[in-house]
Structure 1
Amino acid sequence: MDSIQKRALSERDICTKFITPAIENGGWDLLTQVREEVTFTDGRVIVRGRTTSRGPKKRADYVLYYKPGIALAIVEAKDNTHSVGDGMQQALAYTHADCLDVPFAISSNGDGFLIHDRTGTFPKTEFELPLNEFPSPEDLWNRYRKWRGITDIAEPVVTQDYYEDGLGKAPRYYQLKAINRTIEAIANGKDRVLLVMATGTGKTYTAFQIIWRLWKSGAKKRILFLADRNILIDQTKTNDFKPFGSAMTKIRNREADKSSEIFLSLYQAITGPDEADKVYKEFSPDFFDLIVIDECHRGSAKDDSAWREILDYFSSATHVGMTATPKETEYVSNSHYFGKPVYTYSLRQGIDDGFLAPYKVVRIDFDKDLQGWRPTKGQLDKHGIEIEDRIYNQSDFDKQLVLEHRTQLVAEKVTEFLHSTNPYDKTIVFCEDIDHAERMRQALINCNPELAKEDDRYVVRITGDNEEGKAQLDFFIDPESRYPVIATTSKLMTTGVDAKTCKLVVLDQRIQSMTEFKQIIGRGTRIDEDYGKLFFTIMDFKKATELFADPEFDGDPIPDDSFQPGGENGGESDPGDGGDDSGDPSGEEGGKPKKYYVHNAPVMVVAERVQYYGPDGKLITESLKDYTKKKVLSRFASLDEFLQTWTEANKKAVVVAEFEEQGVLFEALADEIGTDLDPFDLLCHVVYDQPPKTRRERADDVKKRDYFTKYGDQARAVLEALLEKYANQGILSIESMDVLKVDPLDAFGTPVEIIKFFGGKNAYLAAIKDLEAQLYASAT
């Protein structure tokens, strides 16, 4: 094939005729070692008011594997009008450690290959090879081994197969990285390993694959999985760990089946304050080869923790700690115990990749929270107890003093929000303690009497002391179960609750711990597309979301000594959730009641604002107008530049999508400025101070020009219908061919028939472009 013919080929043809054969000739098995057009992210969720869309997915033209799950190279292809290295920048972006983390980036245009070597085992970092000299799998694998320091002894462990369920489920790219790095570290002799993965990113599934490979390779024969919540153990046993089958057992008492190989246990089940509680001593210190500690931030690393004694007893085993919230304090240090994380996958990365849900924050401030409240001299609470004379502020409310009107107002605002969205959206309300959770349950019931009549489980209290409420937890997290809808809680639901469809997280709890804050936010970050859960809302009544501004929120291990490990009742860390805080005012401590209850102090909302998750992973705290202006001006310094780009765009939707990816929230902006404004007019008005025109005004201007007369009767009728569609729904509604399938356009015939009115598809598209030009003629 001569060069002219080759240059006429598409990128796909170049792949088929030149690149793929060259890879195969290098010794690569096309069925097991070569994957083409590999999409490895879901595309970030972009929130448009109450609707969502997906941003672009990351996709590699080729990923080359030594074995399934062990990626060695990325190959990016270009057609032959490009140079051989034109795909290198894209390939490098995917090979970096924050992406696929593979050692070789390769670019090709069908004439040869440009190879970038991260291992340092080739003579040059970048060099070209002809088509017939593509390196073999063995060559690249040996270089990978040298790069990673994988010895001959470690290789069988590192190359052990993953578990495949036969249903197509496979680890996501970041899970593969976490698994591979952990396996490599252990195979090379590391005996303390830390993995940091954001809530909702599949830590338990990742742990299963790590254990499976180590177990199947024979590197680890008896393994203990430790957690601090019974629900975590039960979910793990019946879900992710199910393939272990009869080799797995749960330690419940001293009669544990020691013939098993995979053991699951609560910390609380195998240790305690008395010697009789220390069930773990029924096993010899060298019984386990591997211990995996789930949520290891919750006390296992603390030197004097009762849980730490388990790890110290089995000190000869390899210990793998997994957490979403690494903990660093003067007294507790995960990284001191485990070492630095071998891999970290953060909340921000998860949201950027589209695997986790973004959020918006509704911040509501009450007058008494901001100003404080002081009783009058000798004032009695509702139980006739004199209230200690001092100023009570937000840190006291619902702990030392209860303002009943405040509880009612929170319930009213939550109800108002749910009724403006969907009153059946799953909601978790985090309260200060059990008493607060019970009062909030009652207040929400009274705010929703009709919904509570439909089912008395519309609002339930799920706390550690209440068996009836805990029995509803499985129904709450079941996407197919409508009830319960609202769960009030304190600590029980901060971790281990896989509530994928939770759309509203309410914070009426002061949270001073970054660790706890991350765990609570994690209750909403899971995505469930089948049930329409792609983003969630946080309603904050106690300034907890100020922690979002902390640079450590999505950063490295964080200082935090206020969050204590769970105790009884499944890990409730608040003593109130152990059932000893009934809220009975007769219960006194040091001669004072546990709480004062004030029923006649009015409370008012003094501030309410909405904050949105921005493209940089931070909350947009400035006004939407200011934020939009800054973002647009960074792209188009002048109105003329913006107008030129808008006018020349084949589809205005492309320009709108570009701004949305930058965090411009058109629907929210329209709610603030005017819902009948086109995206074009919103930007012209907010950014460039132009007087806005409504869609109806623009449509009427076009009608006055009578420009439709150049079309035939049928084509003219279609354009008039499209113009009306624009006036009602906006520019994006008329750019898609799908508009021809819906009312009122479908009355003109099928899309094919309608296009014939114009003389063909190209003529129809030209007419649409002409219509858009007329709509924006006065602006340009």
Structure 2
Amino acid sequence: MPPIEDDRLAAEQRARVLIDRQLEAAGWSVQDRGALNLFAGSGVALREVIMKPGHGRVDYLLYVEKAVVGVIEAKPVGTPLSGVEWQSAMYAAGLPGDVRKRALDAGGRLPFVFEASGTETHFTNGFDPAPRARRIFHFPKPEALGRIVRAASEHPQEALTWRGRVGSLPTLEEGHLRPAQIDAIHGIERSLREQQFSRSLVQMATGAGKTYTAVTEAYRLLKWGGFGRVLFLVDRNNLADQTLGEFQNYRTPDDGRRFTELYNVTKLTRGRMPDSTKVAISTIQRVFKAIQNENVPDDDDPGLDEFAPESPVDVTYNPDLPPEAFDLVVVDEAHRSIYGVWRGVLEYFDAHVVGLTATPGKQTFGFFQQNLVSEYTYAESVADGVNVDFDIYRIKTEITENGSTIEAGTFVPKVNRETREIRIEKLDEDLNYASPQLDRAVTAKHQIRLVLETFRDRLFTEIFPSRRTVPKTLIFAKDDNHAEEIVQTVREVFGRGNDFAAKITYSAKDAKGHLKAFRTSPNLRIAVTVDMIATGTDVKPLECVLFMRDVRSAHYFEQMKGRGARTIDPATFRAVTDDAEAKTRFVLVDAVGVTEHEFVEPPLNRDRTMSLKKLLDRAATLNLSEDETATLANRLAALEQQVTQPERAELDAVAGRSLRSIVRALVAAVNPDAQAAAIAADPNRAPSDVVQKLLDVAIRPLASNPELRTRIIELRRAHDQVIDEVSRDSLIDAHGVVDPDAARETITSWRAYLAAHRDEISAIQLMFDVKGRGIAFGHVNELAERIKRPPHNWTVDYIWSAYLSLGVEHRGLAETRNRHTATDLISLLRYETGIDDALIPYADLVKSRYVNWLARQAQSGVEFNVSQRWWLDKIMQIVAVSAGITAEDLDNAPFDERGGVDGALRDLGDAAGELVEELNRELTA
């Protein structure tokens, strides 16, 4: 039976009561026609206005700053609002004459059109390029519409909403971005332009630079895209500080200023945000707390940040943090369960949502409307040198696998979890415990000790052969009490003190200080955590991830594994791990079976027994299996991390393309998705044949280039070092100088080498042709790397000693006579070209020129204070070892301790850049 008219009217009237309350909560003054007062507030919602003939009666006419700007069509609760948009559109175009005079026009109609039922609200913004209704949580405040109203009067020819402005963003400056980051930004902006989805998902491997990508995008959208404010959601509060640091350190590509010099970035707190806030950083739990108008603490609070309600949260409107507060919401590590119980918080805001994750799940894809705008896998990141590959080392113990039994009558210690107080009790019956109870209901001390002793005993023989310094190691424990037990046992097993191992959990004292030390201190070698370092936290020198807790979530496991994936430059790496040359891999030590779950993808290094030489030989005959192809990709990616830039350039030249692109093709050929797509595209061939064709195509650049294979092996051997611990040595001879006959032969060969490579090696060419001007450290280092290869195997020290053995004069400090760096090649070349008549160590030459320069400055009346002399002295020292200096070097050690470039400008003034250039001219060759 259809509803009677009175019932329908009553239902609509109830809806209007709800709508009135919502409008008033948002700051609108709701009025009847007879009591109209446009001065009552910035926004007035006038009920029941008769439109021009044929257009009926509108339920609400909206005024902002005394101008008519929109309409609301009210319908009973439960009415499908998309079916009444024609009605509200008719009202928006049917203003009576006395109202139209003060109306804001958007193509012949009012710009802001709403349909509402009291439980659902739809909004159409007529200033969008293709206006269409979207569901919003609540009516916007009058001030939000007022900003658009003012912009419409001030800039009538410009796009007024971000949906209109994203179509004309400037070309992305790609120089400072990785290919995966470029793809992600293009994907997000394409999705914004097309407006087919209100959400965009970026899948990017851990360590590939998701946050930097998001900061770059935020800058572009704030500056050129018409976006007013960004909410950046992080997984944990301790990551909010790290993200804030990313924004603070970001240099804009157009003028080089810091992001935070242009836009205010802050952590979200309770209450109304200042208009100046352009980026707010928070966890989703804290955003919910702010929406509920509760205090948001600044410090880490596991009770808050780990809170996960059993049922979806109920979000209510807060005028201090309204839905229109943000235009963009970035969700970093978007794989978490926030799309279930926390979904209401995300849907509260009228914003485009961008998700960033390494491991999207079904629920993640569902929330983001299956709109995956870019994809970058872990294997691809290894191929690109963004991450390093990993190996797996498995430790099994009887108790870990099968549990144990404690017999009745045994006196056992029991620990109070809250107070850590220990009491001794006698067991009345046998205690049988299984593996899952281990370190939760029962702590087996010898199991913990045995795992750690095994790790210690195999560390330098099987896990990291021939190393002597314990690699930076992160151990994942089950809970805080388990972590406490592990830390104490680590110190005992390794026989080391408190600064060797530390617990870094939310409850630990000075956890942030310990985390900083774990990144930078050579002393703190092992950290034990539960969740604090599980996601997003960078510890680049980390080489070992030890699982003493099981993880059954693929997403969480990938994040935990990813802590060890980060690459690091060799110099910084060696500063904290003195016996490491370069980080080429990390090791997952699995003491609980976590790597045996089906969701764990194998590393590229699938055949650890096969040498690089054998792999290349098999590639030459097109006989590589799929696992061998993956292993070859691993070995070449590791070599890429070790070679110098000149060596990399040489390999690329021999290959006729970048070695990295070859590795990327190998990885693509063993990608299951790529194989599945190829099989589907060629259904008439056997799947194995299709896969083999992919492998053969990927291998061809190596198979068809014997010279490339030879150079790869030569460089591999140059960077490998075999440790002989079994052969005994005996002394044949000892002398302090090179034998004169050998010295003459060396110098003759050296001069022939210079003549033969004069047009090929930049340092030689520059010295002979332009008398050394323009020789940079890269040129010198290239020459040093080339001469130390077979067949010559020369070092700078060796050639220098050969000259001295033939009686060539040496000038300089006595202590530098037998200690030479690559830059001393400049001195050798200066002698050969006749610029100098003696061998003068390059550092002594630079210091002498610096003293003369200071004297000339003093004679011309220029005096430098103590702070300025510190900068000048350090600049001279850098030039002495690097054959030059750039402005960018001022942001590195030792200058960073005094503020880097900013500190140089502070102490040296605006002439800092000119001084750097002048010293480059005066002190170098």
TM-score of the two chains, using structure 2 as the length reference = 0.44
CA–CA separation in structure 1 for the residues paired with 2:805 and 2:438: 63
Q: Displacement, 1:414? A: 3.8
Partner of 2:207: 200
Amino acid at match of 2:221: L
Q: Classify 1:286/1:666 alpha carbon distance in 2 versus 1 (closer, same or farther; 3 Å).
A: closer
- 1:283 alignment partner AA: L
| 2:333 corresponds to | 295
Identity of aligned residues (%): 25
Cα distance in 1 for partners of 2:513, 2:743 equals 67
Contact 2:483 2:528 in 1 (8 A): yes
Cα 1:516–1:649 change in 2 (3 A) is: closer
Matches within 5 A, 1:381-780: 381-382=412-413, 383-386=424-427, 389=430, 392-416=433-457, 421-423=467-469, 425-449=471-495, 451-452=496-497, 456-477=498-519, 479=520, 481-529=521-569, 530-532=571-573, 534=583, 535-547=585-597, 550=598, 553=600, 617-620=603-606, 624=609, 632-633=617-618, 635-636=620-621, 653-654=710-711, 656=713, 735-736=789-790, 739-741=793-795
1:718–1:748 CA contact under 8 A, matched in 2:
no
RMSD between superposed Cα atoms in Å:
4.6
Question: Structure 2 CA distance, aligned partners of 1:294 and 1:428?
Answer: 23
Q: Which residue matches 1:178?
A: 184
Structure-1 residue corresponding to 2:243:
236
For the residues of structure 1 that align with 2:386 and 2:189, how far apart are their CA atoms?
24
The answer (yes or no) to whether the contact 1:158–1:180 under 8 Å persists in 2 is: no
The 3 A distance-change label for structure 1 pair 439 and 176 is same
Deviation per CA, 1:688-714, whole angstroms, max 9, x where unpaired? Answer: xxxxxx9x9xxxxxxxxxxxxxx9997
- The structural deviation recorded for 1:354 is 0.8
Matched residue, 2:348: 313
Counterpart pick for 1:265 among 282, 291, 294:
282
Q: CA deviation at 1:321?
A: 0.9
Contact 2:166–2:192 (8 Å) recurs in 1? no
Offset at residue 363 of structure 1 (A)? 1.9
- Report the CA distance shift for 1:513/1:632 in structure 2 as closer, same or farther (over 3 A): farther
Residues 526 and 223 from structure 1, CA distance in 2 versus in 1: closer, same or farther, beyond 3 angstroms? same
Q: Which has the higher strand share?
A: 1
**Over residues 386-411 of structure 1, what are the superposed CA-to-partner deviations in whole Å (9 max), with x where a residue is unaligned?**
28746544333222322211211233
1:592-621 Cα distance to aligned partner (Å, 9 max, x none) = xxxxxxxxxxxxxxxxxxxxx8xxx5342x
Asked if residue 284 in structure 1 is aligned to residue 284 in structure 2, the reply is: no
Query: In the alignment, is the contact (CA less than 8 A) between 2:389 and 2:605 conserved in 1?
Result: no
Deviation at 1:266, TM superposition (A): 2.2
Contact 1:231 1:496 in 2 (8 A): no
Report what 2:273 is aligned to. 256
Question: 1:359: Cα distance to partner?
Answer: 2.2
- Offset, 1:204: 0.9
Number of the residue aligned with 1:322: 356
Given that 2:409 and 2:426 are in contact with CA atoms closer than 8 Å, whether structure 1 keeps it comes out as: no
Q: In 2, distance between residues paired with 1:416 and 1:410?
A: 10
SS in structure 2 of the partner of residue 506 of structure 1: strand
Which region of structure 1 is more displaced relative to structure 2, 371-380 or 434-443?
A: 371-380
Following the alignment from structure 2 to structure 1, what is the Cα–Cα distance between the partners of residues 592 and 226?
50
Instruction: Identify if the C-alpha distance between structure 1 residues 247 and 653 changes in structure 2 by more than 3 Å, giving closer, same or farther.
Output: same
C-alpha distance in structure 1 between counterparts of 2:489 and 2:438, whole Å: 16
CA shift, 1:253, in A, is: 1.8
Match for residue 157 of structure 1?
166
Alignment match, 1:38: none
Q: Give, in whole Å, the separation in 2 of the partners of 1:172 and 1:292.
A: 20
SS at match of 2:555: helix
2:381 touches 2:387 (CA, 8 Å); kept in 1? Answer: yes
C-alpha distance after superposition, 1:714-737 (max 9, x if no partner): 769999xxxxxxxxxxxx998536
- In structure 1, how many angstroms separate the alpha carbons of the residues matched to 2:391 and 2:164? 46
Alignment partners' CA distance in 2, 1:393 and 1:665: 51
Q: 1:264 to 1:630 in 2, by over 3 A?
A: closer
User: Quick check: 1:507–1:539 contact (8 Å CA) kept in 2?
Assistant: yes
Q: Shift in Å at residue 249 of structure 1?
A: 2.9
- Go from structure 1 to structure 2 and tell me whether the alpha carbon gap of 1:738 and 1:267 turns closer, same or farther (over 3 Å shift): farther
Question: How far is 1:385 from its partner?
Answer: 4.6
- 1:534-555 Cα shifts (integer Å, max 9, x gaps): 23222221122234xx4x556x
Name the counterpart of 1:369. Answer: 400
Question: CA separation in 1, counterparts of 2:229 and 2:746?
Answer: 77
1:304-352 Cα shifts (integer Å, max 9, x gaps): x1x32211211x2111111112122xxx344444423210111111100
Is 1:462–1:489's contact at 8 Å kept on the other side of the alignment?
A: yes
Of structures 1 and 2, the one with the larger relative CO (CA 8 A, separation 6+) is 1
- 1:218 positional shift: 3.8
**Distance across 1 between alignment mates of 2:746 and 2:200:** 70
Amino acid at match of 2:566: R
Instruction: State the secondary structure of the residue aligned to 2:259.
Output: helix
1:210 aligns with 217
Q: Which amino acid aligns with 2:269?
A: R
Does the Cα contact within 8 Å between 2:270 and 2:290 map onto a contact in 1?
A: no
1: CA distance, partners of 2:236 / 2:208: 18
2:746 and 2:799 in contact (8 A); partners too: no
Relative distance call for 1:185 and 1:751 in structure 2 (3 A) is farther
Higher helix share: 2
Contact 1:199 1:519 in 2 (8 A): yes
**Does the CA contact (< 8 Å) of 1:380 and 1:387 recur in 2?**
no
What is the CA-CA distance between 1:179 and the residue it aligns to? 0.6
Shift of residue 497 of structure 1? 1.0
Q: Deviations over 1:471-523 (max 9, x none)?
A: 4223323x3x3353321111111012111111221111112221111001111
**Matches of 1:445 and 1:311 in 2, distance apart?**
45
- The alpha-carbon deviation at position 380 of structure 1 amounts to 4.4
Whether the aligned pair in 2 keeps the contact of 1:194 and 1:321 (CA below 8 Å) is yes
Q: Secondary structure at the match of 1:384?
A: strand
The one-letter code matched in structure 2 to 1:624 is: T
Aligned equivalents of 2:712, 2:243: Cα separation in 1 = 45
**Does the 8 A contact of 1:297 with 1:334 survive in 2?**
no
Cα contact 2:207–2:566 (8 A) shared by 1: yes
CA–CA separation in structure 2 for the residues paired with 1:490 and 1:623: 31
For 2:191 and 2:346, locate their aligned partners in 1 and report how far apart those are by CA, in whole Å: 19
Q: What secondary structure is seen at the aligned counterpart in 1 of 2:394?
A: strand
* Letter of the 1:473 counterpart: L
Deviation at 1:425, TM superposition (A): 3.4
- Report the CA distance shift for 1:163/1:417 in structure 2 as closer, same or farther (over 3 A): farther
C-alpha change, 1:748 and 1:181, in structure 2 (3 Å) is: same
Could you tell me whether the CA contact under 8 Å between 1:335 and 1:341 is conserved in 2? no
Give the corresponding residue for 2:153. Answer: none
| C-alpha distance in structure 2 between counterparts of 1:352 and 1:387, whole Å | 59
- How many residue pairs get aligned? The number is 467
> What is the DSSP-based 3-state SS (H/G/I as helix, E as strand, rest coil) of the residue aligned with 1:740?
coil
